Amino acid sequence: MKKIITADGSITLFNEEYQEAYHSTKAGAYTESIHKFINPTKIVNFAKEKNLIYILDVGFGLGYNVATAINEIKKNSLKSKVIIYSLEKDKKILEKLKRIPPPKELEDIYPKILQGEFKNIDIESQTFDSFVSKGENFELYIIFDDARNSIKKLSKTNLKFDAVFWDAFSPKVNTELWTVNLFKLVKKLMNPKAILATYSASLAVRKGLMEAGFKIGLVEPVGRKSYSTVASLEGEIPPLTEKEKLRLETSPYAIPYYDNEELNLPSEKIKEDWEKRLKEKLSQS
């Protein structure tokens, strides 16, 4: 896999299957973690109020969001412990990421999260194929499967999360992870004040989150012009601008992606269905 040096000097990889980098090269990989995931989900504030905080991380990738979250909580709130469930379909990812040096800010924590073992874990009646790593202030469970299956199984447990990092590849290439059906299920896994953060500025994604029952808000851009997105049930999030509200009401592109009820449609089918509906909208406008 090709290495890329991003704008802040941290290194990411290019994924050949999806033809995308794991991180924003213009914002910088580490900067993206802090500005698009860690700060918008307010995990440091949660950690100051609670001894245990639960994070759902969708798309472990190179583990930068996970490592940055653990690092920031450790720096700011010595007492609290963070429990992270990270969803990833690529079981070989841990070998791949060992080929790159971590961002300098994560040099201490990164090797610690990678010291663990592959094993099955049981949560209530559900079994998960996992990599488990535990440290002074964290427990990390990387669950290997299509995240849709993992979310289906997690939704049958009593787990509730304080924050969700939604960091799949872009909706155009990784469409199965951006559907209304999946957002509805993840909503059930979130505490009322929990915030879901994603780098995506896509109208289809924003409309999908709204249709799933979330209120949504915008996060100041970094490394590009578009604002990223946050969603919550009752948490305090920045408001939508009037301009964005109008775009969401009137743009033909503001139509969500849909999976089937079992959440197992191929990504291409979900995208084809969306493109068909878009074409109809465009021909009417």
Contacting ligand SAM (CB under 6 A), which of 59, 103, 208, 256? 59
Among 6, 10, 11, 22, binds ligand SAM (CB under 6 A): 22
Q: Does 103 bind ligand SAM (CB under 6 A)?
A: no
Question: Based on CB atoms, which residue is closest to ligand SAM, 77 or 198?
Answer: 198
Residue 238 to residue 210: CA distance in whole angstroms: 15
* 177 lies in the site for ligand SAM, by CB under 6 A: yes
Q: Which of 139, 146, 211, 273 binds ligand SAM (CB under 6 A)?
A: 146
Out of 4, 25, 39, 90, name the contact with ligand SAM by CB under 6 A. Answer: 90
* Shortest spacing between CB 251 and ligand SAM, in angstroms: 25
- Min separation Cβ 220 and ligand SAM, Å: 20
Task: Report d(CA 23, CA 26) in Å as an integer.
Answer: 9
Task: Give dist(CA 88, CA 56) in Å, integer.
Answer: 11
| Residue choice 28, 63, 171, 256 for contact with ligand SAM (CB under 6 A) | 63
Q: Which is nearer to ligand SAM, 39 or 251 (CB)?
A: 39
Rounded Cα gap, residues 271 and 258, in angstroms? 9
Q: Based on the shown chain and the rule CB under 6 A, indicate whether residue 183 belongs to the binding site for ligand SAM.
A: no
Q: Is 30 in the site for ligand SAM (CB under 6 A)?
A: no
Buried/exposed code over 11-45 (b: 16+ C-beta within 10 A; e: otherwise):
bbbebeeeeebbbbbebbbbbbbbbbbbebbbbbe
Which range binds ligand SAM by CB under 6 A, 62-70, 107-115, 206-214, 233-241? 62-70
Answer yes or no whether residue 87 interacts with ligand SAM by CB under 6 A.
yes
Binding of ligand SAM by 43 (CB under 6 A):
no
Residue listed under structure tokens 């994924």: 15
- What is the C-alpha to C-alpha distance for residues 133 and 149, in angstroms, rounded to an integer? 22
Among 8, 72, 88, 259, binds ligand SAM (CB under 6 A): 88
Check binding of 64 to ligand SAM (CB under 6 A). Answer: yes
Residues near ligand SAM, by CB under 6 A: 22, 33, 59-65, 87-90, 93, 146-147, 167-169, 174, 176-177
